[in-house]
C-alpha cells in the first residue's frame, strides 16, 4: 500500500484547531479556505503519485559514494526536479526573493505530506528551508541576492554543519577553524559529521552553513561564528565555478532513512575551503538556532508524517488479514483482525495520537504566522513566546510518539511486521532517528525547563493550563461531551503541580528536576495534544448540531478524541508522580552503582 494524504483531517485541524479563517482575517492574507484546499489537493497529488512510490526503493537502494561522487536512489533526482519546478521549496518564503509567501500553516501541512510520502526525500527540502531562514535573518544583502533565489528555485540546496566527532550536542567543543583572508573571505579547516544531504547529485551546488572559530574567538559557545561555504565556488556573474575545497569522505550506513545521504565532510584538505562570514563574528550559534528551530519544528512534522504512514499501512493490513473468531461469538468463522478489540485498541491509539499531534503542530504553526505577520506588536510577542514554548513539545513529543506508533504498526502486522517485504518495519526504523537528531528529546526537555518554563516564571506554561481549564468548562456545558471534562481537568491539575515543582526547585535542586525533564516534556505534550483533541470534539459536535452532512467523519472525530482523552491521557498522572517523587533517587544515584 502507498500513501494517501489525510486531507480531510488536515483541513479540519486547520479550520477548527489552528483557527486559520481567523488568522487569514487578522493578518489580512489574500487567501481563503477554498484556495487552501486547492493547494493541499495539488500537494497530495505530487506526494502520492510522484514521491511516495520512491519510498521503498530508497530503503532498498540507498545513496552511495563512489570516486568522490554521491549517487542518490533511483527516482529521487527526478522527483526532486518535479518538486522544485512546481514551486514547493518556496512555499512560505518571501515573494521578493522568489517565494510564494504563504503561511507557515500551509507549509506545515505540505511538509507532513512529503514526510508521510518519503521521509528520506523530505529531509533535503527541510534542511534547505532552514538554510533559507538563517540567511534571510542574518545574511548580508549580497548573500541574500546570491543564494536565496537559487535555494528557492531548487537550483541549489542547503545543509547545516554543526557536529564534529568530539562535538555532538555540546557545541562549545567545536574546533573547525576559520582563518580571515585579505579579501574579506575566510579559509575553513575541519571535519563535520552527520551532515544530512551534505552531498548529492540533485544540483550543481550546495550551500553549506558551517560553524567554526576565528583565531581570536573566546572559548565555548560565545566564540562560534557561522559561515557560508559553497560546495563549488561562485563566479562574479553568479554562475557555478570551480570546486571549493570540500570533500565527501564517506556516507554513513544507518538503521533507517537510508536513502538520505548522511555525509562526513572535510573542509580545507587542499589549502582551505573558501567561506563567507554570516552576520557578525562570535554570533554563529545565535544565527544557527534560527535554522535549528525551523528544523526542530520540521522534525516534529516528520514524526507526524511517519505516524500517519504507519497507521495507514496497519489499517490496510488489519482489514485484509483474516485470523480467529470474534471474542463475542458474533461469527463462527475467522474474521479480519480489525474486528478484534485489541487490534482496534492499537489502531485507535495510532489514529488518535497522530491526529492529536497533527492538531498540536498546526496550532503551533498558526502561532508562528501570528508572530511573524500580526500588525499588533504585543500580539506578535505573545504568539512568539507561545510558539517557542511549543517547539520542544512538537519536536520531542511527536517524535517519541512516532517511534511508539510505528512499533504498534509492526505489532498489528504480527510476525509479518518483522518481515521487511511488508514495509511496516521501515517506518519503525525511519522513525527511530527523529527523537535523536536536531537535538535529542532530553535536549528539548532541558530547553523546556530552562528557557521556556523557568525563565519567564512559568507564565506561558500557566497560560496553556488556563486555556485548558476554559475548554474543560466548554465540555461540561455540552452534555454529549461532558464525560471528557473530568479526565482533561485531572491531567491539567497534574500538569499545574509539575510546573509549580519545576519553578520551585530548578535552582536549588537542578539534578532532581532535570531527572524528570523528559517526563515533563511528555506530560506537557500529551496534555496539550489532548486539549486539541477536546477542541476537535467540540468543533465536530457543533458541526453535527448544525446538520453537517459528513456525519461519519464528525462522529469518528469525536470518538477518536474521546479515546485519546479517556484511554491515553491518564498516563499524565503516572508521569506527574514520577516527576514529583523519583527525581531525587535518579539525581542522587551513585555512578558506582550502575
Which one is catalytic: 400, 438, 467, 497?
Answer: 438
**Hey, what's the cell of 150?**
537559487
Separation between Cα atoms, residue 468 and residue 464, nearest integer Å: 6
Q: Across the strands, what pairs with 251?
A: 263
Separation between Cα atoms, residue 296 and residue 437, nearest integer Å: 9
Separation between Cα atoms, residue 152 and residue 132, nearest integer Å: 8
Helix (H) or strand (E) holding 286: helix 284-320
Residue 220 backbone zone (phi > 0: left; psi -120 to 50: alpha; other: beta): left
**Hey, what's the cell of 209?**
552553513
Separation between Cα atoms, residue 383 and residue 560, nearest integer Å: 29
Do 342 and 326 meet the contact criterion of CB atoms below 8 Å apart?
no
CA-based R_g, the chain, Å: 24
Separation between Cα atoms, residue 313 and residue 410, nearest integer Å: 9
Do 209 and 181 meet the contact criterion of CB atoms below 8 Å apart?
no
Separation between Cα atoms, residue 104 and residue 398, nearest integer Å: 18
Q: Across the strands, what pairs with 178?
A: 188
Residues 6+ apart with CB under 8 A from 36: 11, 14, 20, 106
Do 236 and 249 meet the contact criterion of CB atoms below 8 Å apart?
no
Does the active-site annotation cover 438?
Answer: yes
- 3-state DSSP assignment of residue 227: strand
Where helices occur in 374-509 by DSSP H, the ranges are 377-413, 424-431, 441-449, 459-476, 485-505
DSSP for 538-556, please give it: HHHHHHHHTT-S-HHHHHH
Separation between Cα atoms, residue 98 and residue 583, nearest integer Å: 51
Separation between Cα atoms, residue 238 and residue 241, nearest integer Å: 9
| Helix (H) and strand (E) counts in the chain | 19, 12
Q: Which of 404, 433, 429, 403 is nearest to 418 (CA)?
A: 429
**Hey, what's the cell of 391?**
517547539
* DSSP code at position 455: T
Burial class (CB in 10 A: 0-12, 13-18, 19+), 233: middle
- 3-state DSSP assignment of residue 42: helix
CA 484 to chain centre: 29
Tell me the backbone φ, ψ of residue 420, rounded to 5 degrees.
-60, -30
Q: Which of 123, 82, 89, 134 is nearest to 107 (CA)?
A: 89
Q: Across the strands, what pairs with 225?
A: 212
Query: Would you name the residues annotated as active-site residues?
Result: 438
Amino acid at each position: 500500500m502507498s500513501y494517501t494524504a489525510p486531507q480531510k483531517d488536515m483541513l479540519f485541524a486547520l479550520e477548527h484547531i489552528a483557527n486559520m479563517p481567523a488568522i487569514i482575517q487578522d493578518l489580512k492574507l489574500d487567501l481563503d479556505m477554498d484556495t487552501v484546499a486547492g493547494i493541499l489537493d495539488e500537494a497530495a497529488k505530487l506526494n502520492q503519485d510522484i514521491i511516495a512510490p520512491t519510498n521503498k526503493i530508497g530503503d532498498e537502494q540507498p545513496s552511495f559514494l563512489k570516486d568522490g561522487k554521491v549517487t542518490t536512489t533511483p527516482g529521487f533526482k527526478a522527483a526532486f526536479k518535479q518538486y522544485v519546478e512546481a514551486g514547493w521549496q518556496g512555499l512560505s518564503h518571501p515573494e521578493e526573493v522568489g517565494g510564494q509567501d504563504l503561511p507557515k500553516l500551509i507549509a506545515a501541512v505540505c511538509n507532513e505530506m512529503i514526510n508521510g510520502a518519503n521521509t528520506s526525500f523530505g529531509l533535503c527540502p527541510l534542511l534547505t528551508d532552514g538554510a533559507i531562514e538563517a540567511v534571510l535573518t542574518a545574511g548580508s544583502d549580497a548573500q541574500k541576492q546570491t543564494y536565496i533565489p537559487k535555494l528557492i528555485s531548487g537550483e541549489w540546496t542547503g545543509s547545516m554543519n554543526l557536529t564534529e566527532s568530539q562535538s555532538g550536542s555540546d557545541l562549545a567543543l567545536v574546533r573547525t577553524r576559520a582563518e580571515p583572508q585579505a579579501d574579506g573571505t575566510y579559509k575553513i579547516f575541519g571535519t563535520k559529521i552527520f551532515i544530512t544531504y551534505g552531498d548529492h547529485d540533485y544540483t550543481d551546488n550546495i550551500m553549506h552553513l558551517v560553524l567554526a572559530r576565528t583565531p581570536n574567538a573566546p572559548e565555548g559557545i560565545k566564540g562560534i561564528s557561522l559561515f557560508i561555504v559553497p560546495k563549488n565556488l561562485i563566479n562574479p556573474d553568479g554562475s557555478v565555478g570551480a570546486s571549493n575545497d570540500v570533500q565527501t569522505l564517506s556516507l554513513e550506513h544507518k538503521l533507517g532513512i537510508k536513502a538520505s545521504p548522511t555525509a562526513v565532510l572535510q573542509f580545507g584538505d587542499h589549502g582551505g575551503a573558501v567561506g563567507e562570514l554570516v552576520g557578525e563574528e562570535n554570533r554563529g550559534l545565535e544565527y544557527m538556532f534560527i535554522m535549528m528551530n525551523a528544523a526542530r519544528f520540521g522534525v516534529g512534522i516528520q514524526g507526524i508524517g511517519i505516524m500517519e504512514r504507519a497507521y495507514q499501512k496497519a489499517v490496510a493490513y488489519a482489514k485484509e488479514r483474516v485470523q480467529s473468531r470474534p471474542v463475542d461469538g458474533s461469527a463462527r468463522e475467522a474474521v479480519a483482525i480489525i474486528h478484534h478489540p485489541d487490534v482496534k485498541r492499537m489502531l485507535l491509539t495510532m489514529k488518535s495520537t497522530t491526529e492529536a499531534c497533527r492538531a498540536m503542530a498546526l496550532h503551533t504553526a498558526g502561532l508562528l504566522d501570528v508572530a511573524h505577520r500580526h500588525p499588533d506588536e504585543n500580539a506578535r510577542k505573545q504568539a512568539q513566546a507561545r510558539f517557542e514554548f511549543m517547539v520542544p513539545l512538537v519536536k520531542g513529543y511527536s517524535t517519541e510518539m512516532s517511534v511508539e506508533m510505528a512499533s504498534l504498526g509492526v505489532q498489528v502486522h504480527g510476525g509479518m511486521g518483522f518481515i521487511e517485504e511488508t514495509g511496516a518495519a521501515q517506518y519503525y526504523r525511519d522513525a527511530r532517528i527523529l527523537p535523536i537528531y536536531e537535538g535529542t528529546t532530553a535536549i528539548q526537555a532541558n530547553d523546556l525547563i530552562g528557557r521556556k518554563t523557568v525563565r519567564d516564571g512559568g507564565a506561558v506554561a500557566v497560560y496553556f493550563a488556563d486555556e485548558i481549564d476554559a475548554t474543560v468548562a466548554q465540555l461540561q456545558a455540552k452534555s454529549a461531551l461532558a464525560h471528557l471534562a473530568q479526565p482533561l481537568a485531572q491531567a491539567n491539575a497534574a500538569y499545574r503541580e509539575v510546573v509549580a515543582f519545576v519553578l520551585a526547585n530548578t535552582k536549588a535542586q537542578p539534578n532532581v528536576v532535570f531527572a524528570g525533564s523528559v517526563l515533563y516534556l511528555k506530560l506537557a505534550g500529551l496534555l496539550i495534544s489532548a486539549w486539541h483533541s477536546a477542541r476537535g470534539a467540540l468543533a465536530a459536535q457543533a458541526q453535527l448540531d448544525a446538520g453537517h452532512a459528513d456525519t461519519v467523519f464528525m462522529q469518528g472525530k469525536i470518538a477518536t478524541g474521546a479515546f485519546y482523552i479517556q484511554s491515553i491521557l491518564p498516563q499524565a498522572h503516572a508521569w506527574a508522580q514520577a516527576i514529583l517523587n523519583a527525581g531525587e533517587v535518579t539525581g542522587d544515584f551513585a555512578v558506582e552503582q550502575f
